[in-house]
Structure 1
Amino acid sequence: MAKHRIYTMSFASVYPLYLAKAEKKGRTKAEVDQIISWLTGYGQRELEAQLKRQTDFETFFANAPRINPLRAMIKGVVCGVRVEEIEEPTMREIRYLDKLIDELAKGRTMDKILRKTDS
């Protein structure tokens, strides 16, 4: 079975779309980067290196330094599909990121987006 074409798209080609979606709603690049860091473990320098390298989505997530275990708390619908029901791991990671960016654009607070819990 052929891979979905998003796997071979460069993360850098979609990143400006994430920024545009957030900034159109008054959110910032720093918040988008914080979400990506929370989800993947990439620091700012590492993220910028991935963007410069034009890393594809599959490699971007496969090489992520520290996938956040709290991502399983991300629920809801993206592109008509419930993210928690997506079985293919890479697609689920991509849709988790899409969902977090959607939440940012909808005005959700960063604490809620990053699933902060009172421990």
Structure 2
Amino acid sequence: MSKYDKNKRRCATRAIEKGAVKSIANIPSDLGKMLMKGSALQAAGEMEQAAAMQGVFGQTQSAAELSQGAQEVRASANSIDLPKFKMSNAALAGGDKIDSENVISLL
């Protein structure tokens, strides 16, 4: 193997390792996003239940307002986004993929 090939392989390996590290560093952001979105969707579901109860007791205006609020909460849940490390090239993205597969295989 030539010196050029060794350097090329070493650079690729470092980039893949860096992608894996960035992927691991993104785990807290992914978990936070999942928890925040789940919480918002749960709140929207509870608002829908409250709206249904209001409707049963004849409070139609209150029920409509709660339903509208639930729809707005659901819409805002989809816009939740937390900062993450970006994979700026294919080698980093490859490291991200390798890390994701390894984490999944551990579960």
What interval of TM-score do these two structures reach, taking the shorter chain for normalisation?
under 0.3
Instruction: Report the TM-score, using the length of structure 2 for normalisation.
Output: 0.27
Q: Rg larger in 1 or in 2?
A: 2
TM-score by length of 1: 0.24
Instruction: Point out which structure has higher relative CO (alpha carbons under 8 A, 6+ apart).
Output: 2
